[in-house]
Structure 1
Amino acid sequence: MRSRPWLRALLLGATSCLCLCTLPGPAAAADDAASTPTPDAVEKAQGLFKKGAALFESRRYALALEQFRASYAAVASPNSRLYIARCLAELGDLPEAYLEFERVAEEAAARAKTEERYAQTEQTAHLERDEIARKIALLTVTVARPESATSLTIAGKEVPRERWGKPYPVKPGKAEVVLRTQVTSIPQTVELSAGEAKTLPIDADPSAPDGDAGLLDEGPLPPATAGPSPRAYLRPYAYAAGGVGVAGLGVFTIAGLMANSTYSDLAESCQGPCPIDRQDDVDAGKTQKTVANVGLVIGAIGLVTGTTLFILSITGGGADEPQRSATSPELLVAPGYVGLRGAF
């Protein structure tokens, strides 16, 4: 359900006020690598942040991104960086937004050691990063003998060396990985889906004696042993349907005999149209005939269904049957439903 515009505006306003309040003030503690910002820098950063928040609320994310980046350049606040990551996410650059949320979390965690107000920023960054992770893929490239490598690119972007061996966000689909050395380049292609995480080992010096240590020869596969049919779960339904069929035929037989007996008695005693006082017997005969017909239909359907399900339950090999692909149709049997499911 979409939130009401006034509620969205209220929440954004409250968040913006909180972020403005947590921007470093003139007396804020300095980072290890930067001096305390001046009052003019703080005032400038707050003004830019307000403009960015207004643009973000009006969904002009590209312009808002410029304001938040300018605010962060004036005063390096994790809250400005949080909105930089949000703008990137809204603009569809999910891998870069993922990386930015990680930077926000790291920066906020460092600042929270002396300024508790940034603890909430760290938690928010982790939550929004994890939400993005469901829409992208994470690829971890482990490099053996990294001293022989000069660069690593994933999906066309160069990965900093300190990031090697850590999950790197990429868009779902085919990702091109290239590890370069001083003498050659080693390309790899990985297929990834949304929400998937994979690890790709690459040896920067495959000519080394143990360069192919990651490829282990496990010998021939053991002979496959026969296993139960993958459709064995259909057998109870087959027995149940067969039981219904037998019961239906039993009803047909009994009701049919009763109807024949009733009609024979009426034909013998009435010798033509029956008087009004025998109407109850006539109605009973009609009911018995209807019950017999219904029993015959149910019996036939039950036996056909039971036979079909039993045959399905014993067909299809065990271990020697090829694995069914995701696009193959499959039989679904559930209470009150029998059908096929498949992808096209």
Structure 2
Amino acid sequence: MNARSRPLRIAAITTALALTLATPARAADVDPATVSAARALAEEGLDLFDRGQYAAALDKLDRADELIDAPTVGLYAARCLEQLGRLVEASERYLYVSRMPLDASASDVFKAAVADAGKAYKDLRARVPRLAVTVLRAPEREVQITIDGKPVPPALVGVSQPVDPGEHVVEGAWAGRVIRREVSLPERNEATIALDFAATGAPVAPHPPPAAGAPVAPRPPPAAGGTPLVTQRALGWIAVGTGAAGLVAGGITFGVASGLRSDLVRLGCTEAVECPDTPATRDKLGTYNTVRLVPAPAFIAGGVLAAGGVALLFTAPSTPKSRGATARPWISPWGAGIVGVF
């Protein structure tokens, strides 16, 4: 403790001797026993302050200040708040002490306490962090906002306000929804938190439970487009169309192979496909040997796909007519497929 603060401490302990210099109106209502108790509280509070026990010191000093309202006691109470990190309360306490009216005959100790409080207020005000809370896509006057559990008046929504340094929890409640944000603010910093209610989705009114014995309405069928039912039907039609295309391809290649085989027989080839070695027979025999390998796999694959598609279509649950997926197969001598809207 420096040389200047020690006289202030002594003055707080001996406040009872100078009560008439601090607040004459209140001094008239204080009896000697109360003055003595206030002096003892101030002395205990200052002793705790010297030992760094700021919370306990603040309690003693606040009790003494309620009785004597001396600037020296108020100054040390503000210093306790500052040491505890309660900068907003400390700055307001400094400001209150700095504005305390003193008579012309007030002691130099009291005058020094008032002056020190004013200087401390100016220094501390720059250190206090500030926080603004804004509301997006909701009526800001209807949103209930709290900072660390304390309500924020509607007039302060969007306004930067002082807060103590450290961790803070901001909550906004509106239309049955709560948005929670956390922020950490060191000294001399400012921040803005936006509570965007659009991000939480539109509010949904709860459905009341059905009355006892009332029939329960059936659930609506799943919407078309991407549901398991539509997927099964679509896959069924695709399999049918692909299988039909395989069967058509097998039939066409079988017909071509049969025609080539007849030509080879006319050119002198036997049933064992032993042909005379002539240019005509060599060309047709090569083509025949290539084409004759296609029909069997095409018939097998086409039959399996078509059968699987039919099974999918028959096992798919029926749905009411709607603007859902529609499809129909097509088959022609040139190919096959499926056309529709899925």
Instruction: Flag whether TM exceeds 0.5 (same fold).
Output: no
Larger RCO: 1 or 2 (CA < 8 Å, sep 6+): 2
TM-score band w.r.t. shorter chain: 0.3 to 0.5
Provide TM-score, normalisation by structure 2.
0.42
Provide TM-score, normalisation by structure 1.
0.42
